[in-house]
Amino acid sequence: MNHQIKKDDNPDLIEERSKATFDTDAFGAFIWGGYNNLKRRREIARYYEDHKELHDTVPIAFMTREEKLENAYRKASIFENHIKKACDVNNPEEVRYFNWLVYHIDGHPTSVHSIMGFPTIINQSDKEQQERWLQSGENREYLATYAQTELGTNIKKLETTATYDQKTEEFILNSPTVTSLKWWPGNMGHSHNVAIVMAQLWINNKCYGPHPFFVQIRDPKTHKPLPGITVGDIGPKFGLNTTDNGFLKLDHVFPNGTYVPPVHDKIAYSSMMLVRAIITPLMGENLCIGATIAIRYSAIRRQGEIKPGDGEVQILDYQTQQHRLFPQLARGIAFLLAGRNTYNFCNNVLKDIKNGDVSLLADLHAILCGLKAISSYQAELGLEQCRMACGGHGYSAASGFPLLNSNQFNGVTVEGDNLVLLLQVARYLMKRAKEIRYEIRYGQQPSKPNEIYDYLFDDAPKKCLIDQAYVPNYKNVLESFEYLSKKLTLQAYDKLEQLKQRGRTSEVAWNECSVELCKAARAHIRTFLARTFINEVNQVNGLPLLTVLKDLLQLYLFYEVKECMAGLMEDGYMLGQQLHYVKKNIYEALSKIRPNAVSIVDSFDFTDRELNSVLGRRDGHVYENLLKWAQASPLNKHDVLPFHHKYLGRMMEEARQKSRL
Ligand SMILES: CCCCC/C=C/C(=O)SCCNC(=O)CCNC(=O)[C@H](O)C(C)(C)COP(=O)(O)OP(=O)(O)OC[C@H]1O[C@@H](n2cnc3c(N)ncnc32)[C@H](O)[C@@H]1OP(=O)(O)O
Ligand SMILES: Cc1cc2nc3c(=O)[nH]c(=O)nc-3n(C[C@H](O)[C@H](O)[C@H](O)COP(=O)(O)OP(=O)(O)OC[C@H]3O[C@@H](n4cnc5c(N)ncnc54)[C@H](O)[C@@H]3O)c2cc1C
């Protein structure tokens, strides 16, 4: 049963919705982690709808950059009055959802304080510092950005210095070169007045590596930059134009604060872990939003005939359209599930770290890096497929895709470039490979099995069993992913060792293997994503929901097998006839998903505010609203543009006069 049917909706959508073979609320509860969460989402969305002062005055596509910022500042100033009424403020998912409804996708002037600056203070300050900055940070008496990236250096070679002056017992922060300017930190340009600055710590002429410092960059009252501080906005970007990403130069600045040694030398990176953990489900959500827009639009858009004379078909009936869109749906769900899983894992490990236990830090770091890299890359490609699937209207800002996709572009870069992060995964895998070759087991005697990497130590069957349909729970497909991942990991390791034996330094050998190292990392993450999807579906009771989830799982798994078929076939592990079986499964899954496609995307329960798209409207009334949208364009405020006669009008008039001569 589809709960979204309303009698005045577009007839094609009513027809699609009436075909649902499952309960859309049951699916929604599966996606959002239970019925109560789904109910709370609806209550929060209702709260947002009922409070017009939180809405945009005009679509942001029609605003200049300054208007965007002012609109977001206006909302930020009333946000605190509303959040306590709309949400349980101790529930991060409710808070995140309300934020998302109010500010939507283009950034906002308090975001980096919430997701990076303040969490860094929570996780990395000592008791005395917390007494000073915790409550006031929570009250937003100050707003803190996270200033790590520099204009021309990499993290290992940061040039910003924090030198301890023994005489005054103070730290002096300095940007000694143009390349050392902090560049990119979100909200640093104009909105925030504090920066958590990552700087190389120098004590007695000895460098202790990058450490975070709490630096007041603007006067708390006048908001003017403080002495020694040069700060500003870095200018317009591909997306996130409601965020003032900034630059910062420190000229011998004396910040508040003391140096506290971390419990682990990589703890300074924990803020990045937390954000990476947020990014993967966000990528899933973005992709599901894109798929919702494109699938709803494909159900109301009619173009061409399949059987001549039978009339124009919904473009969703074309197999090519299904092949373009349904894998995005399946991948979006896979990212949401894996993201939820690792977000919980991350919070548990961060708690352990606070108590001095860093035993799971490396496992967590590797999986977060890999998931962030794969999910953001595939979501970017997938959203582009969704846009293209909407033809010309997909290119209009009314579709929502220009804003959605341009913001998605930052996913592959923020919190670490994807290739750099895949190489972090590879570093972890190479350690496991060494243990396999020397027959040592990671963690020696593990107290409990670790699903993330245990398979690397097991002997997978040497023969591909992918076409053995009787194997339960897709064990055979998972084994194929495991086989490939282990093979690529060991191949990369052996090549590294050979290069080193031939005299290459470790670093040069690493670089010469880096394409293959990234392949191994991708295969490991693919295995994790597949296993998580299978495990989550296995826990579902209730046949109608289970059936549609299994259709999506079938598509997901066989589509991923097809994506890595070269690696599976090159050594004869998978045979040509098995590839035919894989393709058959993909096409079969597409046709099983087709009748439920609109109901599946309805199950996500995205509001029209979240979709921000005329094409993806819940009611399907696309064409009349495209006209309304175009008429609202600021250009159409005038029948004749105020500068028309000054230029084009004059040009044409002069041309007419000339031709009369
Ligand atoms: C939603 C919108 C958000 C918008 C806000 C965006 C904010 C930002 O973008 S903030 C800036 C983020 N910057 C980055 O993410 C930089 C990306 N690069 C990295 O993270 C790299 O991992 C590195 C530069 C931190 C380290 O690279 P590398 O030089 O290769 O390695 P090291 O020698 O420094 O360290 C290796 C060692 O450390 C472990 N490790 C690295 N990072 C972490 C971590 N986050 N947590 C735990 N452990 C970490 C790594 O596994 C190695 O361990 P061993 O192999 O045991 O030595
Ligand atoms: C929208 C946005 C918001 C941001 N917000 C913040 C913020 O709030 N705070 C902050 O500190 N930073 C922020 N950043 C900066 C961001 O974290 C960095 O841009 C990102 O980590 C990549 O670093 P880089 O720009 O120095 O790229 P570079 O390191 O110059 O990388 C460029 C390319 O070189 C290659 N490369 C680099 N190193 C290696 C390597 N070791 N091995 C192989 N290939 C390599 C990769 O292909 C990479 O794509 C933001 C960036 C963006 C786009």
**What is the 3-class SS of 377-395, one letter each residue?**
HHHHHHHHHHHHCCHHHHH
- 186 marked ligand binding residue: yes
Measured CA to CA, the distance from residue 286 to residue 158 in angstroms comes to 33
CA of 633 to the centre of ligand 1 (A): 44
- Whether 199 is in the pocket of ligand 2, judged by its Cβ within 6 Å, is no
Measured CA to CA, the distance from residue 147 to residue 441 in angstroms comes to 39
CA of 415 to the centre of ligand 2 (A): 7
- Asked whether the beta carbons of 328 and 382 are under 8 A apart, the reply is yes
Measured CA to CA, the distance from residue 199 to residue 174 in angstroms comes to 9
- Segment (H or E) for 209: strand 206-216
Measured CA to CA, the distance from residue 433 to residue 431 in angstroms comes to 5
Measured CA to CA, the distance from residue 193 to residue 14 in angstroms comes to 51
Tell me the pairing of strands 229-233 and 206-216.
unpaired
Q: What is the pTM of this model?
A: 0.96
Nearest CA to ligand 2 atom 32: 417
Catalytic residue among 415, 479, 536, 610: 415
- Whether 151 is in the pocket of ligand 2, judged by its Cβ within 6 Å, is no
- Asked whether the beta carbons of 598 and 296 are under 8 A apart, the reply is yes
- Whether 37 is in the pocket of ligand 1, judged by its Cβ within 6 Å, is no
- Whether 423 is in the pocket of ligand 2, judged by its Cβ within 6 Å, is yes
Coil/strand/helix, residue 115: helix
Name the token pair of 264: 């682990």
b/e 626-653 (16+ beta carbons within 10 angstroms → b): beebeeeeeeeeeeeeeeeeeeeeeeee
Best residue among 197, 242, 413, 424 to mutate for probing ligand 2, ranked by most atoms within 8 Å of CB: 413
- Asked whether the beta carbons of 371 and 346 are under 8 A apart, the reply is no
- 189 marked ligand binding residue: no
- Which fold would CATH assign to domain 143-259? Butyryl-CoA Dehydrogenase, subunit A; domain 2 (2.40.110)
CA of 347 to the centre of ligand 2 (A): 25
Measured CA to CA, the distance from residue 295 to residue 289 in angstroms comes to 10
Nearest CA to ligand 1 atom 23: 155
Name the token pair of 519: 């392949």
Name the token pair of 642: 């105020």
CA of 642 to the centre of ligand 2 (A): 43
Whose atoms come closest to the Cα of 183: which ligand? 2
Q: Rounded to 5 degrees, what angle do the CA atoms 413, 418, 423 make?
A: 145
Give the per-residue pLDDT at 136. Answer: 96
Nearest CA to ligand 2 atom 6: 185
Give the per-residue pLDDT at 155. Answer: 85
CA of 269 to the centre of ligand 1 (A): 6
Q: How would CATH label the architecture of 269-420?
A: Up-down Bundle (1.20)
230 Cβ contact list (under 8 Å, min separation 6): 247, 248, 249, 251
- Whether 424 is in the pocket of ligand 1, judged by its Cβ within 6 Å, is yes
Look up 415 and say whether it is catalytic.
Answer: yes
Nearest CA to ligand 2 atom 37: 420
Give the per-residue pLDDT at 380. Answer: 98
CA-based diameter of the chain, in Å? 97
* pLDDT 10s digits, 290-318: 999 999 999 999 999 999 999 999 999 99
Best residue among 114, 120, 143, 149 to mutate for probing ligand 2, ranked by most atoms within 8 Å of CB: 149
- Whether 507 is in the pocket of ligand 1, judged by its Cβ within 6 Å, is no
**What's the one-letter identity of residue 55?**
H
Name the token pair of 620: 């399907």
Q: What contacts 24+ positions apart, CB below 8 Å, involve 61-70? A: 61/397, 61/398, 61/402, 61/403, 62/632, 62/633, 62/634, 65/236, 65/241, 68/106, 68/241, 68/242, 69/109, 69/190, 69/242, 69/244
**What is the 3-class SS of 314-380, one letter each residue?**
EHHHCHHHHHHHHHHHHHHHHHHHHHHHHHHHHHHHHHHHHCCCCCCHHHHHHHHHHHHHHHHHHHH
Nearest CA to ligand 1 atom 1: 279
Nearest CA to ligand 1 atom 37: 266
- Asked whether the beta carbons of 224 and 237 are under 8 A apart, the reply is no
Mark residue 281 as left, alpha or beta (left: phi above 0; alpha: psi -120 to 50; beta: remaining): alpha
Nearest CA to ligand 2 atom 42: 420
Measured CA to CA, the distance from residue 498 to residue 512 in angstroms comes to 11
CA of 424 to the centre of ligand 1 (A): 8
- Whether 414 is in the pocket of ligand 2, judged by its Cβ within 6 Å, is yes
Measured CA to CA, the distance from residue 332 to residue 37 in angstroms comes to 19
Nearest CA to ligand 1 atom 50: 424
Domain residue extents for the chain:
33-109, 143-259, 269-420
302 Cβ contact list (under 8 Å, min separation 6): 311, 312, 313, 314, 315
Q: Please tell me if the domain spanning 143-259 has the same topology as the one spanning 269-420.
A: no
Q: Which atom of ligand 1 is nearest to the CA of 186?
A: 5
Give the per-residue pLDDT at 265. Answer: 65
- Whether 511 is in the pocket of ligand 2, judged by its Cβ within 6 Å, is no
Closest CA to 372 of 420, 316, 302: 420
The low-confidence residues of the chain, meaning pLDDT below 50, are none
CA of 384 to the centre of ligand 1 (A): 29
- Whether 508 is in the pocket of ligand 2, judged by its Cβ within 6 Å, is no
Q: How would CATH label the architecture of 33-109?
A: Orthogonal Bundle (1.10)
Whose atoms come closest to the Cα of 272: which ligand? 1
Q: Which atom of ligand 1 is nearest to the CA of 154?
A: 24
- Segment (H or E) for 499: helix 475-501
Give the per-residue pLDDT at 232. Answer: 98
Return the residue matching tokens 């670490």.
416
CA of 149 to the centre of ligand 2 (A): 7
b/e 388-427 (16+ beta carbons within 10 angstroms → b): ebbeebbebbbbbbbbbbbbbbbbbebbbebeebbbbbbb
- Whether 149 is in the pocket of ligand 1, judged by its Cβ within 6 Å, is yes
- Whether 111 is in the pocket of ligand 2, judged by its Cβ within 6 Å, is no
Burial class (CB in 10 A: 0-12, 13-18, 19+), 261: exposed
Q: Which atom of ligand 2 is nearest to the CA of 514?
A: 43
- Whether 127 is in the pocket of ligand 1, judged by its Cβ within 6 Å, is no
CA of 156 to the centre of ligand 1 (A): 9
